[in-house]
Chain A
Amino acid sequence: MAEIAPDILARAQGGDTVAFNELVRFYRQDLLRVTYRFVGNYEDARDVLQLVFIKVYQNIERWEPRAPFWSWLYRIAVNESLGWKKREKRRYGVVTPIEETPYPDAPSGSASPLDDVSRGEIGERLSEAIDMLPEMQRATFVLRYREELSVKETAAVLGCAEGTVKANGFHAIRRLRQILRTEEPEVIRNESTAL
């Protein structure tokens, strides 16, 4: 993510509302994409983004340039998005957890279940599958493979060790493969018979 000019940031930190507005306009598009990728619709993503900027306004004085400003913004956006999802789950019920097994069933010898479905369907299924991941795995996967942050950048955003990012990435990929297989038995069966 691009970094805003240091003088605008400094003025925003000093309480200049015009500079803060500039900051909002500079980052809002990128942060909307992040919140959308967590909450799944633009209406909620926009509401979460409002909360993000409120938090930024309240705490901008505390930011210190030890880490890039954008990674601090990302962290607030991820925290707010996950908080929003939690509140939503509490309000509307809990998603049925996927049964945790040491290893998914071995593939049937076919190609991946992503093969025969349209791109739109893939996107929908992938989003649903990501949504079913535990919180930290979801955050790691979205940052690493949707936002395409490096391991180091992801660790900086999530405030954890690089090893933790790798471990969560590993578990997320394993879990996603399991979810996508178990969700599409028909596709796998059809492919098996076709071969």
Chain B
Amino acid sequence: MSPLHCNTVQEALWERAASAGPVPLSPALVDHMANCTLCQNERRAVAELLDASRTLPDPEPPLEIWDDFEERLWRQIHGSPVSRAWDRWGRSLVGLAAMLLLGFGLGAVAMRVARPDADRAMTAERRGQVAETVQAELQNEARLQSYLADMENILVAYRASDHDPSMDVFRRSLPSGMVAGPGVPSEADRQRLERQRATREQLRSLVLGMLVSEIESESHGFAYIDRRVASIAGQQLLYFIH
């Protein structure tokens, strides 16, 4: 028996099986294999494993497998949230919508700064926190959702101006993630907020749909998906803003 250990030989056998083409056995391996039943059997077992993988037939698919296949496919394509038309024009529309949203948010902040309200100190503090958060998020290529949540906070803080017992009702009507300020807005403002919320939800689902599509078409391996989500979300966000 040669001095090679069986584990070493078997590892060489697996490596050889995984290589691109037939690799000749080294003289040391040949020498060891000639006298080792264990390694001879392992060599045969690996060959059988690969042979079985190549030659074992799959069961026949059921006869009705293709019934309605294309009809169902087209129904799903037309019902898919990211249709081809959206894919083509969605990017520019979403970019425009995001810029409008950002402009509105920044305008709201500017108006808030100019207003001599009693709670100005609180709002300024809140605004500072939000601005810092947004900056940090942008620098770190933050996720879109967190950015939108901050924008929501700015809008709500601006709109909510007067204290009112119905504040709790208003607070409950807000979607999770939105933070109400110290008062309640007027009915007109509230309706506007509702419209903004609906638009924002559409925007959010559209952007996320695009991100998913882009990630899946561009990802080169399965282990990178999480990193790609963060990276692409950040890039999209910066693209919209600039």
Q: Which residues of A contact B (CB under 8 A)?
A: 15, 17, 21, 24-25, 28, 32-33, 36-37, 42, 45-46, 50, 53-55, 57-59, 61-62, 76, 79, 82, 103, 106-107, 109-114, 119, 122-123, 126, 135-136, 139, 141, 144-146, 148, 150-152, 158-160, 162, 166-167, 169-170, 172-174, 176-177, 180
Contacts and interface: CB of A to CB of B under 8 A. Distances in A.
Interface residues of B, number: 51
A32 B73 CA distance: 14
B213 interface: yes
A28 B69 contact: yes
Given A107-B42, A151-B19, 11 more contacts: A15-B84, A17-B74, A21-B70, A106-B6, A112-B48, A122-B56, A136-B222, A150-B20, A160-B220, A173-B50, A174-B11
B73 A53 contact: yes
Interface in B1-46: 6-7, 10-11, 14-15, 17-20, 37-38, 41-42, 44-46
A23 B212 CA distance: 24
Contacts of A173: 14, 17-18, 46, 49-50
A151 B223 CA distance: 19
B116 interface: no
B119 to A, nearest CB: 46
Contact of A57 (B48, B72, B84): B84
Contacts of B58: 33, 36-37
Most buried by A among B7, B49, B70: B49
Contacts, number: 144
Nearest to B45: A112
B38 A106 contact: yes
A83 to B, nearest CB: 9
Contacts of B175: none
A45 B77 CA distance: 18
30 contacts: A15-B84, A24-B69, A42-B59, A42-B61, A54-B73, A55-B213, A58-B83, A58-B213, A59-B87, A59-B213, A103-B10, A103-B11, A106-B38, A109-B37, A109-B38, A109-B41, A112-B44, A114-B52, A123-B56, A126-B53, A135-B222, A145-B50, A146-B53, A150-B20, A166-B15, A169-B18, A170-B18, A172-B18, A177-B14, A177-B42
Nearest to B36: A109
A177 B45 contact: yes
A103 to B, nearest CB: 5
A36 B53 contact: no
B54 interface: yes
Nearest to B88: A61
Contacts of B213: 55, 58-59
B46 A32 contact: no
B219 to A, nearest CB: 7
Contacts of B144: none
Nearest to B66: A28
Given A15-B84, A122-B56, A162 B20 contact: yes
Given A160-B221, A166-B18, A107 B66 contact: no
A46 B72 CA distance: 11
A46 B69 contact: yes
B41 A55 contact: no
B217 A55 contact: yes
Q: 5 smallest A-B Cβ distances: which pairs?
A: A159-B220, A169-B18, A112-B45, A145-B53, A170-B18
A24 B223 CA distance: 29
B82 A177 contact: no
B92 interface: no
Nearest to A42: B61
A115 to B, nearest CB: 8
Given A58-B82, A145-B53, A173-B14, A114 B48 contact: yes
A123 B73 CA distance: 31
Contacts of A59: 87, 213, 216-217
